[in-house]
Amino acid sequence: MPRQKNLLDSDFHLPYNQKLVERAKELRKNMTPAEKKLWNECLKNFKFRVLRQRPIDNFIVDFYCPSLKLVIEVDGDSHFTPEGQDYDLERTDILQGYGLRIVRFTNNDVLNNFESVCQIIERSP
């Protein structure tokens, strides 16, 4: 896979676009209700370290657990349009190319089936 400009790369970190760091900080401060719930009630004290709104390549993933190489996405309505689904497929392919596993939940899953969501994450290792 050819490297793109503006991506940092090393043996210890996934590549990321430095231009996304400020946006990631903004997203951390303004999490959706579903992201807040998942963070505060499950991932904040998860047995492995989890990072919020983490730049990877040219994307910002909702949550990333480096120990498990696991990306956790919480999808809102924009992900269910044809354009959103195409974008997510391409993004998933790229992230999987780095050896990452991607787990997706809808906002509705997190808000209304929280126990199930947490059980799926707990079984990820």
* Residue pointed to by tokens 């899953």: 109
Residue 47 lies in a domain: yes
User: Which domain does 88 fall in, by range?
Assistant: 35-122
Residue 26 lies in a domain: no
Residue 59 lies in a domain: yes
Residue 6 lies in a domain: no
- Quote the number of domains for the chain: 1
Both tokens of 101, joined, read 């596993």
Mean pLDDT of 110-118: 97
Give me the count of residues in the chain.
125
Whether 69 shows a pLDDT value over 90: the answer reads yes
- Residue 125 CA to residue 78 CA, distance in Å, equals 29
Whether 16 shows a pLDDT value over 90: the answer reads no
CATH number of the domain to which 88 belongs:
3.40.960.10
Kindly report the backbone phi and psi dihedral angles of residue 3, in degrees, each rounded to the nearest multiple of 5, phi listed first: -80, 145
Mean pLDDT of 88-105: 94
Both tokens of 20, joined, read 């996304």
Residue 3 lies in a domain: no
Q: What proportion of the chain, given as a percentage, has pLDDT over 70?
A: 87
Whether 75 shows a pLDDT value over 50: the answer reads yes
Question: Whole-prediction pTM value?
Answer: 0.85
Residue 113 lies in a domain: yes
